[in-house]
Chain A
């Protein structure tokens, strides 16, 4: 199971706590896109809130972090870090710190 930490508003929208666990089925290696596909399949209310419905591009005010690295600009087809796939480290969806 992969651990995902969502920002406050998406937790409320999905009705979940700080961290959710997602099982990613399919071919190895597990990619960023496969994780987000699985997350949206488990919580359909999140569709369109992290990635655009059509292009699947990350929303510009969100970033992905894991293992002290910014994964936001990696290709969606990049394999996730091994500690994330092993469930040792969470995959974090972070909202930009901005606004009034």
Chain B
């Protein structure tokens, strides 16, 4: 029988939750790497037993782990992320030049075809790639070397490259998103990049429709239709039907269009999920009601999904990399909160259940669908 493996990165370790295809009874293992911040874990589609984990700490820097047995055991691999050449400055919060410094890996994105190839999105924002299972890392310097990069500024979480989408139909096409520079696309395997932010409007910027500077929180696509992108921006939920060449707003009737994660149903490319947050100053759900919103029309018309979620006095946040879907039928949807809860729905969001309730602050969440 098929099953799922949920990979949860938290402020104090990693946890792995597993269930069979019914997704009703869950087992939890962990903490793995207890006491360390685990920014992200992600498994390889090409070899589901291969998992990469980003272990980061203000004390001890970046450590990268790899598992080849589905998280039963781990080995430490390469943690040397060195920018190509003289990285020069980006802008600091106050607009002054600030040297580019590697801090941590925010996101791993394994190749869909080769378990030894994996991309790493890092802070300060850049994209690295390993082709030897994480033993060594090489920057793809064309992104950081883009002519606009000296104007990139960090968001509150740092100048982080947090989203990497590999086009499953075109191996030369990569999308990334950076807070607070915006979204970028490469059509040549990561050698050169172009900003894809036309149509975004950010009122906090001196030029609200500038080419770069937008605080993009997350982008998502459905693998059957990779030219259609969905974005949760600092404010606004956006959609592009032309691989990011232009965007239009689809916030519609959401109670707030501020939020962090966004994801797409595994079998319905027009069904998308967000978690509205009250505002950029108040990072918790409006009215203390934890609601996932689902649109079955690719945006604009949204319905609140509340069955099984706390509908009073809930003041947790859901971070940008903390929502994922499985590929079973019905599609499973999962998210983790800053309060340490992990919620799952085995019916596309109609009903939710907590599958872990007292974990540390959840930083990231990924789901593997197992054969």
The 8 closest A-B pairs by CB, nearest first: A49-B60, A61-B59, A95-B59, A45-B76, A53-B80, A48-B79, A48-B61, A61-B58
Quick one: CB contact mask for B67-82 with A, threshold 8 Å, 1 for yes? 0000000001001101
B70 to chain A, nearest CB (A): 21
Interface residues of A (CB under 8 A from B): 7-10, 13, 45, 47-50, 52-54, 59, 61-62, 95-96, 99
Question: Is B273 interfacial (CB 8 A cutoff)?
Answer: no
Q: Please name the residue on chain A nearest to B57 by beta carbon.
A: A9
Can you spell out 7 A-B residue pairs with CB atoms less than 8 angstroms apart?
Answer: A7-B59, A9-B36, A45-B63, A49-B79, A50-B60, A53-B79, A96-B59
**Partner of B76 from A13, A52, A95 at Cβ < 8 Å:** A13
Task: List the B side residues contacting A99 at CB < 8 Å.
Answer: 58
The complex places the Cα of A95 from the Cα of B35 at a distance, in Å, of 13
Residue B346 at the chain A interface, CB threshold 8 Å: no
Between B57, B60, B63, B76, the greatest number of chain A beta carbons within 10 A of the residue's beta carbon is seen for B60
A9 proximity list for chain B (CB < 8 A):
35-36, 57, 59-60
B residues in contact (CB < 8 Å) with A: 35-36, 57-63, 76, 79-80, 82
Shortest CB-to-CB span from A58 to chain B, Å, is 11
Which chain A residues lie closer than 8 Å to B61 at the CB level? 48-49, 52, 59
Known: A53-B80, A95-B60. 6 other contacts (CB 8 A): A9-B57, A47-B80, A50-B60, A52-B61, A53-B79, A61-B58
Q: Report Cα–Cα, A50/B82, bound state, in Å.
A: 16
* Bound Cα distance from A61 to B60, whole angstroms: 8
Contact A47 B59 (CB under 8 A): no
Q: Which residues of B contact A54 (CB under 8 A)?
A: 82
Tell which of B63, B80, B82 touches A13, judged by Cβ atoms closer than 8 Å. Answer: B63
A53 touching B60 by the CB < 8 A rule?
Answer: no
Closest Cβ–Cβ distance, residue A47 to chain B (whole Å): 7
Residues A59 and B80 in contact, CB atoms below 8 Å apart: no
Complex Cα gap A73–B63 (Å): 25
Which B residues touch A13, using CB under 8 A?
60, 63, 76
Question: Which A residues touch B57, using CB under 8 A?
Answer: 9
Contact of A47 among B36, B79, B82 (CB under 8 A): B79
Q: How far is the CA of A84 from the CA of B76 in the complex (A)?
A: 30
CA distance A48 to B57 in the complex (A): 11
Query: In the complex, what's the smallest C-beta–C-beta distance from B33 to chain A, in angstroms?
Result: 8
Q: Give the chain A neighbours of B35 by CB distance below 8 A.
A: 8-9
Taking CB atoms, residues of chain B closer than 8 Å to A10 are 60
How far is A95 from B61 in the complex, measured between Cα atoms in Å?
Answer: 12
A48 touching B80, Cβ below 8 Å: yes
Q: Roughly how many angstroms separate A32 CA and B59 CA in the complex, as a whole number? A: 19
A49 close to B80 (CB less than 8 A): no
Q: How far is A19 from B40 in the complex, measured between Cα atoms in Å?
A: 31
| Smallest beta-carbon distance B133→chain A, Å | 16
Residue of B nearest to A53 (CB): B80
The interface residues of chain B lying within 8 Å CB-to-CB of A59 are: 59-61
Closest Cβ–Cβ distance, residue B146 to chain A (whole Å):
23
CA distance A10 to B57 in the complex (A): 11
Residues of A within 8 A of B58 (CB): 61, 99
Please indicate the chain B residues that have their CB under 8 angstroms from the CB of A45 in the complex: 63, 76
Nearest-neighbor residue (CB-CB) of A50 within chain B = B60
B281 to chain A, nearest CB (A): 22
Give the distance in Å from the alpha carbon of A61 to the alpha carbon of B103 in the complex: 13
B62:A48 contact, CB within 8 angstroms: yes
Task: Name the B residues within 8 Å of A50 (CB-CB).
Answer: 60
Write the chain A residue with the least CB distance to B35: A9
Closest B residue to A49 using CB positions: B60
B83 to chain A minimum Cβ distance, whole angstroms, is 9
Q: Interface centre among B62, B63, B82, by most A CB within 10 Å?
A: B63
User: B residues within 8 A CB of A53?
Assistant: 79-80, 82
Bound-state Cα–Cα, A21 to B61, Å: 23
How many Å lie between the Cα of A47 and that of B35 in the bound state?
19
